[in-house]
Chain A
Amino acid sequence: MNSMYTGVDAGASATKVVIIDEAENIISYAIVPSGVNFKASFENALKNALGKLNIDIKDIVYTVSTGYGRELIDANAVFSEITCISRGIRKLYPSVRTIIDVGGQDSKAIRVDENGRVLDFVMNDKCAAGTGRFLEVMANLLGKPIGELSTLHFKSSNPVKISSTCTVFAESEVVSYISRGCKIEDVIAGLHNAIAERIFAMASRIGFEKEVAFTGGVAKNLGFVEALSKRIGLTPILPKEPQIICALGAALLAKKQFKEHLRV
């Protein structure tokens, strides 16, 4: 029998499911919007992931859930995102000592030791200004899809300065710049710099010991990645699929829990 383990990261914006096999390879994964019903989103994502490679749900022996909606999922165990992200990164990049995770509605910075043990962490989950939500609001305001922000960023030659630390006030600043005739790419680069500044301020409390990795959905935005890298002053490790690192960690924990379960 080929045992499979599932990790589900039920985020406020998106639900991510990762399925790994006994050898800890990622067999399949899926990302679906969370909406208001986490249970349904999970089932949807799972179906999606299973469907891709013709896996039978009976092969899944253990599921770990994490993220905002973790208690609402039918899982075998629950773990914090901090632990899951650390596990996920450790698997792929064992040289990482600092992880900066920027999601749809929160951002975190985690410091780990050479064994992947979490030493310290900070979170911003109250304020939109250092999260994907900030960019969503602004993209909406500017009438551009999120996917285009990165391309526009690299066209910028003269980024504007957004001084407000609050999303609502920053919106006024954006309106003011556009009405003054500033180029949209300069505004977008300015916004990326602003969100990078917020995240830098939060993360600098735990320091930036190398290697530093960026994870989370917003790390798919290469314009933002550039802004944050510049602000910190180093080149980060950027996983190919930064949005599923947390769910991967959850899946790895599922395997670990299952084995420990068996021993008991």
Chain B
Amino acid sequence: MSGEKSRSRVLQATKKIGELILEYFAKASEAKAQGKPIAWVTVFTPVELLRSLDIYPVAPEHFGAMCSARNFILEYFKEAERKGYSQNLCSYSRCGLGYALSGMTGLMPPPDILITFRNSCNVYVKWWQSLHMHLGTPLFVGEAPYVLTQEDLDNYVLDYVVKQLMRLIELAEEKFKLKFDEERLIEAVKLSDKASELWLEALKLRKYKPCPFGGRDSASDIFPLVVMQGTKEAVVFYEELLREVKEKVGKGEGVIENEKYRLLFDGIWLWYAFDMIRYFEDKGAVFVYEPYSEAWAYRLDPSKPLESIARKILSMGLNVDIDLRIERFLKNIKEFDIDGAVLFSNRSCKSWSAPQLVTAEVIGSEFNIPYLIFEADMADPRQYAEAQIKNRIDAFLEVLRER
């Protein structure tokens, strides 16, 4: 690779995310100053519900991703490790715990309530328990049980989740003297649904050749859906983004000029190594589909707000049966015309990584496409063996070239 400047493109919309993030944190501090309760939430928590209670949510997982991307995560790791947390634990949690143990004077205001719903992983429960032990903040541990069949979205499993949401409302009203406002809930659900609709439409446009936006966009652009669901700002952002993407499709403008390989990326991104995505793009390979990017987009029904929120947190991410997940994969590989798959075996996410090989085998055999699995960490740069991984990427791209 010569010293040529990378010619791959990023959306204008994506460039606005940094600002959006700062605004969102500023609003959190404002809310805190006004005496509104701040909730630290795990990312598949019913944020729409919190808006109806006027609780302001912040997501330490996103905080971890941001600290990693901006290169100030190591200090938080050290704080957590000093307390005795093993380096083999989820790096988001080490960041969050280190932050909590060192005074919380950064962007994220201290929590008044800790809320988690176990759906993507069990570490949620452990991490939130640990925060509760250190901070003494009230803790709500909810659960969206593993969805084994479609029936679970309509039977006692759904019922269990709805009841927990109602319990959360009860506790919030009791503890914080808040008033649950059904109108606000319906409004938040409508907005969240709209944002999901817009983003899903944008994602579908990646089926076009050349693909109008790649990994460096999708990685950042999900932010409003992760913590800002139920806000007008999120809808505005996605409206602008969709407009821009449609324009690009109209002009036939892709991420790169010469799109040779259309790839799938399975996993969370390496937040400190976006140059890895560029590395692929400079060699003509574009990421056109990631399960991660659609994980937060879910259509809601404002006529049944609690029920549809419950269905959402049941179905998100990794919480549905492996056969249902594989089905989704296979459908999208066909629709997006994928040439190869890159799977990131993330040391921090055992829930994702544990069954990856089995998934890769199915993908590989079903479509006879090559796949690459590499190991690293999503937020801890100390576990990134750059030279070795780039080697593997080169070999993978060579295999693609031969086909």
Q: Do chains A and B touch in the complex (CB under 8 A)?
A: yes
Q: Does B106 contact A (CB under 8 A)?
A: no
Whether B177 is near chain A, meaning CB under 8 Å from some CB there, is no
| Shortest beta-carbon distance from B383 to chain A in Å | 7
Could you tell me the distance between the alpha carbons of A166 and B87 in the complex, rounded to whole angstroms? 13
For window 169-191 of chain A, which residues contact chain B by CB distance below 8 Å? 169, 172, 176
Complex alpha-carbon distance, A204 and B81, angstroms:
8
Task: Tell me whether B388 and A163 are in contact (CB under 8 A).
Answer: no
In contact, B382 and A165 (Cβ under 8 angstroms):
yes
Smallest beta-carbon distance A126→chain B, Å:
12
B382 touching A163, Cβ below 8 Å: yes
Question: A201–B87 Cα gap in the complex (Å)?
Answer: 10
CB under 8 Å from chain A, chain B span 64-97: 78, 81-84, 87
**Does any Cβ of B come within 8 Å of A205's Cβ?**
yes
User: Do A204 and B385 have beta carbons less than 8 Å apart?
Assistant: no
Residues of B within 8 A of A163 (CB): 381-382
10 pairs of A and B residues whose beta carbons are closest in the complex: A204-B82, A169-B385, A165-B382, A172-B387, A205-B84, A201-B81, A205-B82, A163-B382, A163-B381, A201-B78
**Other-chain residue from B81, B381, B387 in contact with A205 (beta carbon distance below 8 A):** B81
Instruction: Looking at the assembled complex, report how far the CB atom of B163 sits from the nearest CB atom of chain A, in whole angstroms.
Output: 42
The answer on a CB contact under 8 Å between B388 and A204 is no
> Hey, which chain B residues are within 8 Å of A165, CB to CB?
382-383
| CB closest residue in chain A, given B83 | A205
CA distance A259 to B87 in the complex (A): 45
- Other 11 A-B pairs with CB < 8 A, given A166-B385, A172-B385, A204-B81: A163-B381, A163-B382, A164-B382, A165-B382, A169-B385, A169-B388, A172-B388, A201-B81, A204-B78, A204-B82, A205-B82
A172 to B83, CA, bound (A): 31
Would you give the shortest CB distance from A34 to chain B, in whole angstroms?
A: 30
Pick the most buried of B84, B385, B388: most chain A CB atoms within 10 A of its CB: B385
**Using a CB-CB cutoff of 8 Å, which residues 106-136 of chain A contact chain B?**
none
Chain B residues with CB under 8 Å of A166's CB are 385
The CA-CA distance from A171 to B310 in the complex, in Å, is 51
A23 to chain B, nearest CB (A): 42
Interface residues in B37-83 (C-beta closer than 8 Å to A): 78, 81-83
Q: Which residue of B lies closest to A202 (CB)?
A: B81
> Which chain A residues numbered 194 to 211 have a C-beta less than 8 Å away from chain B?
201, 204-205
* Residues 358 to 385 of chain B near chain A (Cβ within 8 Å): 381-383, 385
Instruction: Say which residue of A164, A176, A201, A205 sits within 8 Å of B385 (CB atoms).
Output: A164
Give the distance to chain A from B275, nearest Cβ to Cβ, in Å: 15
A38-B345 Cα distance, complex, nearest whole Å: 42
Q: How far apart are B38's CB and chain A's nearest CB, in angstroms?
A: 30
What are the residues of chain A within 8 A of B381 when measuring CB–CB? 163
Interface string of B374-403 (1 = CB under 8 A from A): 000000011101011000000000000000
Rounded to whole angstroms, the CA-CA distance of A164 and B382 in the bound complex is 5
A-B contact pairs, 11 of them (CB 8 A): A163-B381, A163-B382, A166-B385, A169-B385, A172-B385, A172-B387, A176-B387, A201-B78, A204-B78, A205-B82, A205-B84
Residues of A within 8 A of B382 (CB): 163-165
Docked pose: A259 CA to B388 CA in angstroms: 59
Q: How many Å lie between the Cα of A198 and that of B254 in the bound state? A: 45
